[in-house]
């Protein structure tokens, strides 16, 4: 089962290494990892998506709480949080496909951020389901490059 874990940490050198070392040292995989400063320059938020049963996730949370510089750990349960992901995708275009790609982008509320004679670069944000549907549609046109931020999340309450 996939879990989204939010880890609030002190914004200090080596924190990311300790957190990722905890996962690799115990054989846990990280599906996605996003780290960025919060509104307080002294703290950063790590959003980690991983897989495991309840016992494994409980163990991960206990181990994270033991790490130096970790301030708070939360395992988000379905429906208790808002999540988003950002994707940049470069698609090959010709005169026939350009209008169709632009129309699909508009339907998904994606933004065209770069236009070149033979490519369009598109920015899309949303939940995992929306992102996957959009990427699947773009595969039909030929994805040249793609990069994703990974999931970010905040609690609803």
**45 CB burial (10 A radius; 0-12, 13-18, 19+):** buried
Lookup: tokens for 9: 């940490």
Q: What is the pTM of this model?
A: 0.85
The region that residue 54 occupies, defined by phi over 0 for left and psi between -120 and 50 for alpha, beta otherwise, is alpha
pLDDT tens-digit profile, the chain (157 residues): 889 999 999 999 999 999 999 999 999 999 999 999 999 999 999 999 999 999 999 999 999 999 999 999 999 977 789 999 999 999 999 999 999 999 999 999 999 999 999 999 999 999 999 999 999 999 999 999 999 999 999 988 7
Q: Identify the helix (H) or strand (E) that includes residue 25.
A: helix 15-25
């Amino acid at each position: 089962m996939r879990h989204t874990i939010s880890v609030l940490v002190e914004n200090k050198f080596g924190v990311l290494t300790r957190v990722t070392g905890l996962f690799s040292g115990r054989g846990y995989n990280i599906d996605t990892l996003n780290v960025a400063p919060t509104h307080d320059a002294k703290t950063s938020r790590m959003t980690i998506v991983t897989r495991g049963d309840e016992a494994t996730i409980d163990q991960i949370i206990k181990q994270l709480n033991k790490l130096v510089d970790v301030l708070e750990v939360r395992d988000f349960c379905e429906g208790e949080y808002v999540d988003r992901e950002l994707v940049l995708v470069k698609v090959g275009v010709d005169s026939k496909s350009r209008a169709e790609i632009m129309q699909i982008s508009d339907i998904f509320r994606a933004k065209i951020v770069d236009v070149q004679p033979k490519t369009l670069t598109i920015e899309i944000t949303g939940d995992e389901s929306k992102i996957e549907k959009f990427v699947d549609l773009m595969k039909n046109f030929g994805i040249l490059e793609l990069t994703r931020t990974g999931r970010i999340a905040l609690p609803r309450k």
